[in-house]
Amino acid sequence: MTAAPQIDVRDLNSVRRAARALGARPGQRAKVDGGTTEVLLGEDWVRPAEDGAAAPRRARARRGLAALQTSPLARKIVTFNLVGLCLLVSGMLYLAPGRDNLVYQRGSGLVSETELIADVFEAQLPAGAPVNLITGDGIDPVATLSGLDLSNGIEVMVFDTAGSLVTRGRALQGTPDVAGLEGRSAPTVISDFVNRVSTGIAGWLSPDGTAALASPLDVATDLAGRALRDGTAVETRTGDGGTVLFVATPILQGGDPVGAIAVMSRAGEIDALLRQEREQVLQMFLVGILISVALSLMLASTIANPIAELAAAAEAGRDRNARKMSPDRIRIPDLSARPDEIGRLSAALRGMVAALYERIETNEQFAADVAHEIKNPLASLRSAVGTLEIVKKEEQRQKMLQLIEHDLQRLDRLVTDISSASRLDSELVREDEAPFDLLKMLGNLNDFLGEEARTKGIEFIADLPDQSIIVSGLEGRLAQVFVNLITNAISFCEDGDAIRIWARRRQNRVLIVVEDTGPGIPEEALTKIFQRFYSERPEKQFGNNSGLGLAISKQIVEAHGGVIWAENIRPTDADPTSGPLGARFVVGLPV
């Protein structure tokens, strides 16, 4: 048979712990020895069909990519990712590094082709005989040009030394496919659309439009004149029809120019190649947009949705019934398994909410204890006042008046201690810690309280090291702790007893011990004496203490990162059932 847990009905936390020990959650029935018993507190009651975590689970199940449509954070993530990608592609299209390469490669090929045509003319020139391309003396330019197999849409013009056009010929559009060198022509839908948009914008910004390309004959004539003077010359012109390359080279006879060959590339040839290249870039851009949007939405769903859940859970805390939830039914989603900031945020919020509920329960318990403690002297006062009205003897009336004065002093002491305890938390947070000499502070207390102990016939022994010990904290509050411990020891000791206070440093901590040879502490009270309003005192001292001193001391020590505990003094070989030799209180503080 399982032993039932001990329950202190005055302590709400004790009842809750007992309910959990029986395997039940707050508001559920707990099994005891094969049966059921109901351990149910009013503030723990919830509607049986309602689960505190059910609503967040349902909301999480409904929340998906569709919820990102209303998420500003998701929109920002998608926008920022797309902006970067768009800037990259726009820079590539604007700078167009492939265009310069295409122009250079096509220009180099056209120069070679032009010089090859000039070599054909030079091979047919008679050696040493005068040549006139206009009259056909020495060579027939028309027949020679007609015999050439021109390709890829180029146009060839022959000029004499005076810059006059002799003849011209145009190749067929395009180039026949060669095995192993087949050209690939794919539709450029995206590139054409972008070009139309950019052209429309450019036309709107510049109503005059793009300047038309000068007459090809005029450009070729000017370039042929430069070739006759300086050798092979190349020029690039851009107009409505696209980019056109002009190359001119002289026809030499014995090193002297007798004419010039000018070749003009097909209009728009380079632009067509550039559109093919841009089409591939834009296709990859569209694919990149789709992938970027998909990845951005996935990333946003792992960030925005959990944050939305945390925000919704925090907003639910404003509901009027939120204070009735226990830490076991916290609505904050548990995302602490995530190894990122959201996981840390979830763990921090859950810890904060749990601490808040614990603080609320502590305040509720404190309020209940305060009401209980105040009722006792009030009941005594009510009884004394009622008795005073019917008592006739002066001696009994004086006794009632003394009882009333004692209860008033008890109430005053209780209210003062309660006020001090209620302000303690805020003062510990608000006041700034500072380093101070712990042994100097203990020495001052020993001088004052030691004299009080000696007046009662109690031996007071202080065993403090010579070297100072510096600690950081609130000196006044820590002094309050040791005043409570020493005055408690004095109150429990009688004439002939002894009190000893000593301190020792242990690595990064210092231990301060207050021990006495009084009656000791009942074993069952060792775990309770630090609870608020708990007091284990002789009958003659009833009402002289509020029971808050040790609870306040424990709170102050723990706020400084220390520990405090109580134990009875026993010889190492003493019978465990024998009475203690006294009580010992130990305070540990970091240094």
The pLDDT, as a whole number, for residue 50 is 45
Residue 155 near residue 110, CB atoms below 8 Å:
no
pTM of the predicted model, to two decimals?
0.46
The pLDDT, as a whole number, for residue 57 is 54
Contacts of 473 (CB under 8 A, 6+ apart): 433, 434, 436, 560, 589
- Tell me the β-bridge partners of 170: 155
pLDDT tens profile 80-127: 888 888 887 777 766 666 677 778 888 898 999 999 999 998 888 887
DSSP class of residue 181 equals B
The pLDDT, as a whole number, for residue 573 is 61
Q: What is the pLDDT along the chain (591 residues), one digit of tens a residue?
A: 445 455 554 455 565 666 566 554 444 444 444 444 444 444 443 444 444 455 555 555 555 555 566 677 777 878 888 888 888 777 776 666 667 777 888 889 899 999 999 999 888 888 778 888 888 888 888 888 888 888 778 899 999 988 889 898 887 655 555 565 555 566 777 767 777 776 677 667 766 555 555 788 889 999 999 999 989 999 988 776 678 889 999 998 888 888 999 999 887 777 777 777 777 788 888 888 888 888 877 777 777 777 777 777 777 666 545 445 444 455 677 777 778 777 888 888 778 888 887 777 777 777 776 776 677 677 777 777 877 778 778 888 788 787 788 778 777 767 776 776 666 666 666 677 888 899 888 988 888 888 888 888 999 988 888 888 888 888 888 888 898 899 888 888 888 899 999 999 888 899 999 999 888 888 888 888 887 767 665 555 444 556 677 888 888 888 888 999 988 887 766 566 667 788 899 999 998
SS (H, E, C) 107-147: HHHHHHHHHHHHHHHHHCCCCCCCCECCCCECCCHHHHHHC
User: How many Cβ atoms from other residues are within 10 Å of residue 362's Cβ?
Assistant: 13
Is 531 strand, coil or helix?
Answer: coil
The H-or-E segment that residue 62 falls in is helix 54-62
The pLDDT, as a whole number, for residue 288 is 84
Distance CA 209, CA 200 (A): 10
How would you class 496 by CB atoms within 10 Å of its CB: exposed for 0-12, middle for 13-18, buried for 19 or more?
Answer: exposed
Distance CA 45, CA 22 (A): 17
Q: Which residue is listed with tokens 């009336």?
A: 397
Q: Which residue is listed with tokens 């990519």?
A: 65
The pLDDT, as a whole number, for residue 581 is 85
Is 436 strand, coil or helix?
Answer: strand
pLDDT tens profile 346-384: 888 778 888 887 777 777 777 776 776 677 677 777 777
The pLDDT, as a whole number, for residue 451 is 86
Q: What does residue 531 show for φ and ψ, rounded to 5 degrees?
A: -80, 150
Contacts of 532 (CB under 8 A, 6+ apart): 365, 366, 369, 421, 547, 548, 551
* Bridging pattern class, strands 29-32 and 35-38: antiparallel
The pLDDT, as a whole number, for residue 66 is 57
Q: What does residue 516 show for φ and ψ, rounded to 5 degrees?
A: -140, 170
pLDDT tens profile 148-188: 888 778 899 999 988 889 898 887 655 555 565 555 566 77
SS (H, E, C) 271-337: HHHHHHHHHHHHHHHHHHHHHHHHHHHHHHHHHHHHHHHHHHHHHHCCCCCHHHCCHHHCCCCCCCC
Cα angle value 17/22/25 (rounded, 5°): 70
